[in-house]
Structure 1
Amino acid sequence: MQATLRTRRFAAALLLSPIAAAIVATPALAQQYGAGQRANSVVAAQSPVIERFSVRALSIEPGRDMRFRLLGSPGAKAQIDIPKVVQNIPLREVKPGVYEGSYTIRVRDDLSEIDRAVATLRNGPMATTARVALEGEGAQWPDRNGPRVVDITPNNGQHVGERGRTEVSARFADERSGVDLSSVRLRIDGDDVTRQSRVTAHQVTFEANLRQGRHQAELVVRDRAGNVTRTAWNFVVNNDIRGNNGVSLGYGR
């Protein structure tokens, strides 16, 4: 009789407690608490799932509408962030698991950031993110950036000791439209040495017996979308530079 009375009092206190909504209150649970045992039946939010996050646009330019669509877990909250452009664009759940929204591109927007849009699908404290994909036959993001130039040789400001031929080279790449190889131009001290250079799909290399002193190299390369990259660097040829073993240092042959 006393045990039953204690159980009823505990159940009444549980209903008045602020955390009662987070606990599954079943007769078995009440018996466990009445017996002084601990229960851990807390309802946890599940992490939402994003199946696809995409955008449709006739063209990526100011004044055009971008229509976003997300497929994922129903009953959640969805929003979009475009780095350096706009934050917290809400998506509306038009039917279970389908979220839609739009954004009109402004003149001041950085178009090179549009393809970095990220959707967040949130269910309580749990959230999932996904990068946008462009939909439509033949659709592709605009190429706004020139090719990347890396691995220049010699390094900018480097002193090289040569007793023979100096090698000047650089690598380039463009992941969007690709490099226009006919546009590659390498100049040494203002002279175009492209014809004397070896140009491959990703690199240009020039070798010559350069005089001692400071030299400037400049590489100009364009991608198929017309974006141009110019990279210039300086180096010094000094035949008096030697290592500890008396061997000349540098890129000579």
Structure 2
Amino acid sequence: MKNTFRFHAAAALALLPLAAAVLPASVAAQHRDPVARVATVAATPAIERFTVRPDGKLLPGRQLRFQLVGLAGARASLDIPGVVRNVALRETRPGVYEGRYTIRRRDDLQAFDRAVATLRRGPERFTAQVAFAERGDRSAPRISQVTPGNGARVGERGRTFIQARLSDDRSGVDPRSVRLIVDGLDVTADARIRDDEIGYRERLGRGLHHAELVVRDRAGNEARSAWTFAVV
């Protein structure tokens, strides 16, 4: 999405510890989990880490705080695919580059998982993919309002609709982590997944059926729910 947005350099961010690190681009291609983590890198990497700390769940109007730690005296910029390109990050102290971004209503929330920082010094150019950091988030997301409910009996006419609500008050649900298993078959690719909901519709035969749902938040906390229902 091509939006003009509010982007403010934030020297105050230098006081906030960011627990997560990011993989350099060459390694991140093999590890696409946006959960905060520490990369195995060379002794003096050009980019030590590139993190973003959301002030709660990703929602329009919420502010994201970016921080890149790497070579001092360079030029740093931020790209969010489909949202913005080549936005400067300010060096607030040697080797620390920071900035803020306020989410707009039209922004694709999943695009923030793919944000990339670029660090340039002379002819050298280095990139790193973002990692989310949520200090103190040890709570798993919640799975609720499961349909059909556990032990429910549903009619065989038409297709059976399986649905669940997803929520997380801290780092937010990671939509890419959601997995739905029905009768031992992974049907995630055929499901409709949003930040707060998953829905799947299929013509199931008569008898007992088993469903299992797995979801993680952006801090890596996992929740699972399994239930059975009957088509009669």
TM-score by length of 2: 0.47
Greater length-normalized contact order (CA 8 Å, ≥ 6 residues apart):
2
Report the structure number with the largest CA radius of gyration. Answer: 1
**Larger proportion of helix:** 1
